[in-house]
Amino acid sequence: MTVYSFYIFDRHAECIYKRRWLPRPASLKSPGGPELGQTMRTGDDDAKLVFGTVFSLRNMVRKLGGEDDNFVSYTTSQYKLHYYETPTNIKFVMLTDIKSPSMRIALQQIYINLFVEYVVKNPLSPVEHPGGLGVNNELFEESLEQFVQTRVLA
Amino acid sequence: MLSYQSRAALDVLIPSTPCVLSPHSQLSKMSYYFTILSPTDTPIFNIAFGTSKGGGDGIARFRFPDTAQYMNQFIIHSSLDIVEEAQWTNGGMYLKHIDTYPPATAYISAFLTPSGARFLLLHQPPQLPSSGTSGSLGSSSLLGSSASTTRASSSSVAANPTSPQTEEAIRQFMNEIYESYVKTAMSPFYKQGMEIKSPVFRTRVTAAGKKWL
Amino acid sequence: MSTQKASRIGEEIWKTRIDKVNAELVTLTYGTIVAQLCQDYDSNYQEVNKQLDKMGYNIGMRLIEDFLAKSGVGRCANFRETADMIAKVGFKIFLNVAPTVTNWTSDNNQFSLIFDDNPLADFVELPDDGRAQDELWFSNILCGVLRGALEMVQMQIEAHFVSDVLRGDDTTEMRVSLVRYIEDEMPPEDD
């Protein structure tokens, strides 16, 4: 299993954390400059795209399946996107290869064991991260790294 | 229980403090003056009350009512040296009866908190109608009558300031106050060494006095 | 979800997933904070109430995450369910008390929490300056905690104490009103 990237969005639709492990799959990349109809994108653009996608998808799913419904993941021919949202509207998103098993539990564990423990409970870390300040927390990053490594090896 | 109390009371009573015992219940009521001194010897709480047990009305009647207010303070403070001596002889917090001030027939019992506050209780038996002239002979003859023995036992705490019953009653009283004192000291708005103005604490002390003395 | 079920959840989490600390430590710590605020604001109790509420708000915004992580409960279906969740799970796991939910308005938007027991206020006697009894809400931090926590789960509420045994009242009662449900925020439009 390969993990491509990981994002956290807060309730203000702000990307407060992003991390990339491997380059995006081929089709998402733009080899040798922008292709037709596609401009060069930065990591920030990626985050915005990801947010837009999960936000729309989630609203759509709720319209179809009721207020409590939520989507878990979607797969394209190139990647699989895993999604977990807390009742506080924090969204955890992970992009992996398409053969990956469901990461919903993994994302929930990242929330419970890493995000809440190291970020939320750290009194020096701000509650909100306005203006793209983002989660800047060594303990969180290290544990996340470790967590993902064990998943990848497994 | 009753008979044990009265017998024990008698043992202590006869030789040491004959004049205290009285056949008249009104006269066997003690007057109490209770003070808490901060570790730096500032009085932070005072209260005067009388015996409530055995039909007492709980009102203090000191022998010299005009001067009692200052005299009691004075007597209590004068016993501080003895408290200081006594506190190292005894591992317990309750030092029992530690001092007597004969001119006012005032007895002092002390209790120390580990933090250095001192609870001092002055107890003064009432003045006898014969103003203390009755000898031990007279007393023992009074004791001989069954009526007075019963009376003494029902209010033995009041009757004799140095009997084991009195000491036990004062121990209970002190312990109860200690508990209330700790609670009061735990209030975030109370600062160590500050005068205790809490009406709740005063009520609790009054209740403890009623219950045990 | 019924009140009984909420009580069971609260009980279960309290027993298995909560690290306990000495109650006196909590009481003394909170008491010291309030006393210090009273001193810092020169016994301006309105200001102290405000500061406590603000502190609570900041706590609530974090505490809700811990609450959700520990309880694993999802979104409440309605405000009545929210009330039970606050009283029987929230207060239970963080303070080991379970206030009574009562006095609902007919539109189900306002309720009262009656506290039989308030660990924050053990041993406390308000200052006898003749004003604290009428002006200081000693446990006002709790109002802020609820406000902060519920805001994070898309509920704007208003909470205030209406009585406190510390003031000599018969009960300690907090009034909680739902102001509105907060809409999802949209990302800012790209230029």
- pLDDT, one tens digit per residue, over B72-89 is 888 888 888 888 888 777
Tens-place pLDDT, residues C47-99: 999 999 999 999 999 999 999 999 999 889 999 999 999 999 999 999 999 99
Global ipTM: 0.86
Instruction: Determine which of C55, C62, C151 to mutate to test the interface with A (most A C-beta atoms within 10 Å).
Output: C62
Q: Which of A115-129, B54-68, B114-128 has the lowest mean pLDDT?
A: B54-68
pLDDT band at C6 (very low <50, low <70, confident <90, very high): very high
pLDDT of residue C136: 96
CB contact under 8 A, C68 and A55: no
Other C-beta atoms closer than 10 Å to the C-beta of B5 total 18
Confidence of residue C2 (pLDDT cuts 50, 70, 90): confident
Q: What is the mean pLDDT of residues C26-39?
A: 95
Q: Which residues of C touch A88 (CB under 8 A)?
A: 64-65, 68, 152-153
Percent of chain B exceeding pLDDT 90 equals 20
CB contact under 8 A, A111 and C69: yes
Q: List, in sequence order, the alpha helices (H) in chain A.
A: 43-65, 104-109, 138-153
Phi/psi of residue B6, nearest 5 degrees = -70, -35
Decide which of C134 and B192 is more confident.
Answer: C134
| A71 in Cβ contact with A83 (< 8 Å) | yes
* Dihedral (Cα; B109, B113, B117, B118), 10-degree rounding: 0
Tokens of A71: 């989507």
pLDDT at B128: 58
Residues in chain B: 213
Which residues neighbour A34 within 8 Å (Cβ) at sequence distance 6 or greater? A40
Q: What is the DSSP letter of C82?
A: H
Q: Do A127 and C61 touch (CB under 8 A)?
A: yes
Matching residue, tokens 């491509």: A4
Residue pLDDT tens, chain A, 154 long: 889 999 999 988 889 999 988 665 555 544 444 444 445 566 678 888 999 999 999 999 999 998 888 899 999 999 999 999 999 999 999 999 999 999 999 999 999 999 999 999 988 888 887 766 678 888 999 999 999 988 876 6
HSE toward the beta carbon, residue B24, CA cutoff 13 A: 9
The pLDDT-based confidence of B129 (bands split at 50, 70, 90) is: low
DSSP 3-state of B185: helix
| A4, B106, B135, C37 from B142: Cα distances, Å | 103, 23, 11, 64
The DSSP-derived string for C3-33 is HHHHHHHHHHHHHHT-----HHHHHHHHHHH
The confidence band for B23, taking pLDDT boundaries of 50, 70 and 90, is very low
Task: Please provide the average confidence, as pLDDT, over all residues in chain C.
Answer: 93
Tell me what pLDDT residue C126 has. Answer: 93
Say whether C126 and B190 touch across the interface (CB within 8 A). Answer: no
pTM value is 0.80
pLDDT of the residue at B87: 79
As a whole number, mean pLDDT of residues B19-25 equals 42
Per-residue pLDDT band for B13 (boundaries 50, 70, 90) equals: very low
Rounded to the nearest 5°, which phi and psi values hold at B31?
-110, 140
Q: Are C113 and C88 in contact (CB under 8 A)?
A: no
Integer Cα distance of C17 and C23 in angstroms: 17
Subunits next to A (3 or more Cβ pairs <8 Å) are C
